[in-house]
Amino acid sequence: MSKTNVERLLKQSKIDFESLTYPVDLDDLSAEAVARKINYPLSTIFKTLVLKMVENKYVFVVISGEEELSLKAAAKALHSKKVALVPMKDLEDLTGYIRGGVSAIGAKKNFQVLLSDRAIHEPFIIISAGKRGHQVRLNPHDFLSFTQGILFTNG
């Protein structure tokens, strides 16, 4: 099976990870569905959202499947007056990824990364490998150092 860009970059950086795959249902790309299909707790599944700041900068926000994003908390962590979710139709142009396959690793551009502080309480996190049906399981500290991300409290 060919590696995704995310897997190649992690391997090049000598970061331990495990590749996980599951059948894709385009009608349900939720974190809950991923957790069910790969048989891991929802608390370990992390979804990647893309936000636009009023300063016309973009950021990846990586939060647990159990969480809803607090735009206010994200704006505060970014020292931004206001942030908004990027419309789905703009995701691929901005990141090179499509909904259900967005990753903060290996995107077209390196945007700042915010990681929910819930990740640190998990032995591992599972994030998109950059392609629907593909995930990687890795240590949250490795993810933070690789992305040069910052922890934030979501809400």
Q: Is the pLDDT of residue 49 over 80?
A: yes
CA distance linking residue 123 with residue 118, whole number of Å: 11
Residue 1: pLDDT band (50, 70, 90) is low
Summarize pLDDT for 71-90 with one digit per residue, the tens. 999 999 999 999 999 999 99
Q: Which residues pair with 61 in a beta bridge?
A: 49, 114
Map tokens 């392609």 to a residue: 131
Q: How does the average pLDDT of the chain come out, rounded?
A: 95
| Average of per-residue pLDDT across 133-137 | 97
Name residue, tokens 């945007």: 111
Bridge partners for 148 per DSSP: none
* Contact call for residues 49 and 61 (beta carbons, < 8 A): yes
- Residue 124's pLDDT band (boundaries 50, 70, 90)? very high
| CA distances to 2, 49, 90 from 95, in Å | 21, 11, 9
Can you give the pLDDT at residue 121?
92
Domains contained in the chain, CATH given: 5-152 (3.90.960.10)
Instruction: Kindly report the backbone phi and psi dihedral angles of residue 31, in degrees, each rounded to the nearest multiple of 5, phi listed first.
Output: -60, -35
Tokens for 18? 């495990």
CB 62 within 8 A of CB 111: no
Is there a contact between 124 and 141 (Cβ–Cβ < 8 Å)?
no
Beta bridge partners of 59: 51, 112
Two tokens, residue 75: 């704006």
Query: What's the average model confidence in pLDDT over 43-68?
Result: 96
- How much is the average pLDDT of 107-125? 96
Whether residue 97 has pLDDT greater than 90: yes
Report the predicted TM-score, pTM, of the whole model to 2 decimal places. Answer: 0.95
pLDDT of residue 18: 97
Answer whether residue 2 shows pLDDT above 80. Answer: no
- The answer to whether residue 44 scores a pLDDT higher than 90 is yes
